[in-house]
Amino acid sequence: MSLRTAGSVLVVFLWSVAVVLGQNVWSVTYTTQSICVLEGSTVELSCSIRYPSGTVTSTVWFTKWGTGVEPEDLGQDPEYAGRLEYHGDKKNGHNLRITDLREKDSATYKFRFITDQTGGKYTGKLGVTLSVTGLQVKVTGGHQDKTLTCITTCTLTDNPTYIWYKNGQHLDESTSPQYKYSVSSNYEDSYSCAVKGHEDLHSPAVCVQDQICYRVTYTKRRICVLKGSTVDISCTYVGYYSTTSTFWFRSDKSTLEDLTRDPGYTGRVKYTGTYRGPFTLRITDLREEDSAEYRFTFKTDNFEWGHSFPGTTLSVTGLQVKVTSAAE
C-alpha cells in the first residue's frame, strides 16, 4: 500500500441501506462509512437497525461470510480474543469496540441481525471500512536541507495534532504532518513523531544523516500483569559514545529518579542487559500502585537521552469473579 501524508478532517456520514417489502422496512444504518486509526489504539464501530416486527434474537458483527452459511462472528475469531467489547441494546444502537488494533484488522465490518419472525434476517451490506496504520518519519531532501514528514498508509480521522521528538525530547506540536523547523545536520541525532492523545503509539526514531544515531526502542508499549507476579520491561538503545549512566524511571514522578533508588521498589527491582542488546527492568512482587509508564534514559559524557519520549505502560491487576444474571 502506498504511503501518503496523514491529516484529515473528520466527516461523519449516516449511511443507510434499507429494503422495503410491502410496508416492511429493514435497515442497518452505519454511523460512518470509513475510518482510519492508529495501530495499537481503540476504535468503536456503531450502527442502528430498523425492522417491522418481532424481537431481535441474534446479532453479529463480521468480516467474513462464506456461501450458504451464517457469517463468522468476530467474537469467535481467535485473532480478536480479549480485544472485543459489545455495547448497546437489541432494539436500538449496536456498538463494537476493538482494542489494541493491528494492521491486519483492516477490513470491512458488517452487522447482521435475526428476529423471531419467519424470514426475519437482515444484513447491512455496505458496512464500515476500517483502515489501521502505523506512523513513520519520511526523510527527504539533501544533506543541508532535509524535510521530515509524519506519514501513514491512510488519512487519519479526527484532524490530528502531530508531536515531534528529537533525541527523546519533546520539540513541537502542529496540525501539519510536516516538521516546520530546520532539521539537525548532526549525525548522532534522531527524530520521531506521534499523534496527540496517542503519544505511546509514536513512530520509530529515525536517523536523519546516517544509520547510526541516538535512539531508544521499547519492546512493548503496554503490558498487563497480575498483582504479585514478576514483569520484564525491555528496550534497546544505541548511541555514538560510551555510556556513563543507564536507568529506568517512572514518568509520573515530579523528579527524575532511578528506580533502584526509589524506596517504593526496594528489593524488587533489577537491571539486566548490555549496550545494543535488550536492556531490561525486572520488577518482582508487583503491586497495583506499580501501575505506571516506565521510561529508560542513558547518558554519555556529552549527551543525555530526553525524558519526554514515551515508554512502556504497565498495568497491574488482581482477579475478580463477576456474577451476572441470565437476563444480561
- The residue segments making up the domain with residue 165 are 134-213
Dist. CA 152–CA 133, nearest whole Å: 6
Q: What angle do CA 125, 130, 134 make, to 5 degrees?
A: 165
In this prediction, residue 320 has a pLDDT band, given cuts at 50, 70 and 90, of confident
In this prediction, residue 15 has a pLDDT band, given cuts at 50, 70 and 90, of very low
Cβ-based burial of 182 (10 A; exposed 0-12, middle 13-18, buried ≥19)? exposed
Give the count of domains, the chain.
3
Pick from 196, 188, 144: nearest CA to 170 = 196
C-alpha neighbours within 13 Å on the C-beta side of residue 44: 10
Dist. CA 318–CA 225, nearest whole Å: 9
Amino acid symbol at 103:
E
Cβ-based burial of 148 (10 A; exposed 0-12, middle 13-18, buried ≥19)? buried
In this prediction, residue 275 has a pLDDT band, given cuts at 50, 70 and 90, of low
Tell whether 273 and 313 lie within a shared domain: yes
Tell whether 195 and 301 lie within a shared domain: no
Task: Residue count of the chain, please give it.
Answer: 328
User: Which of 132, 162, 186 is the last residue before a domain boundary?
Assistant: 132
pLDDT of 22 above 60: no
Tell whether 240 and 311 lie within a shared domain: yes
pLDDT of 311 above 70: yes
Percentage of residues of the chain with pLDDT beyond 70:
89
Dist. CA 131–CA 102, nearest whole Å: 10
pLDDT of 41 above 60: yes
Pick from 141, 209, 210, 199: nearest CA to 165 = 199
Dist. CA 284–CA 227, nearest whole Å: 10
pLDDT digit string, tens, across residues 204-256: 999 988 778 899 999 999 999 999 999 999 999 987 677 888 999 999 998 89
Mean per-residue pLDDT of the chain: 87
Residue 21 has φ and ψ, to the nearest 5°, of -115, 95
With beta carbons less than 8 A apart as the criterion, state whether 224 and 67 touch: no
In this prediction, residue 80 has a pLDDT band, given cuts at 50, 70 and 90, of very high
In a domain, 198, yes or no: yes
Please give the pLDDT value at position 12.
36
Dist. CA 68–CA 186, nearest whole Å: 62
In this prediction, residue 92 has a pLDDT band, given cuts at 50, 70 and 90, of low
CATH number at residue 36: 2.60.40.10
With beta carbons less than 8 A apart as the criterion, state whether 90 and 114 touch: no
Please give the pLDDT value at position 217.
92
Please give the pLDDT value at position 89.
61
User: Which of 132, 151, 168 is the last residue before a domain boundary?
Assistant: 132
Q: What is the mean pLDDT of residues 128-152?
A: 92
User: Which of 79, 110, 132 is the last residue before a domain boundary?
Assistant: 132
With beta carbons less than 8 A apart as the criterion, state whether 203 and 194 touch: yes
Q: What angle do CA 284, 290, 292 make, to 5 degrees?
A: 130
Q: What pTM does this model have?
A: 0.80
Please give the pLDDT value at position 142.
78
In a domain, 4, yes or no: no
C-alpha neighbours within 13 Å on the C-beta side of residue 108: 8
Tell whether 151 and 118 lie within a shared domain: no
Helix, strand, coil distribution of the chain in percent, nearest 5: 5, 45, 50
Contact residues for 209 (Cβ-Cβ < 8 A; gap 6+): 143, 184, 185, 186, 187, 189
Tell whether 30 and 46 lie within a shared domain: yes
Q: What is the mean pLDDT of residues 185-210?
A: 91
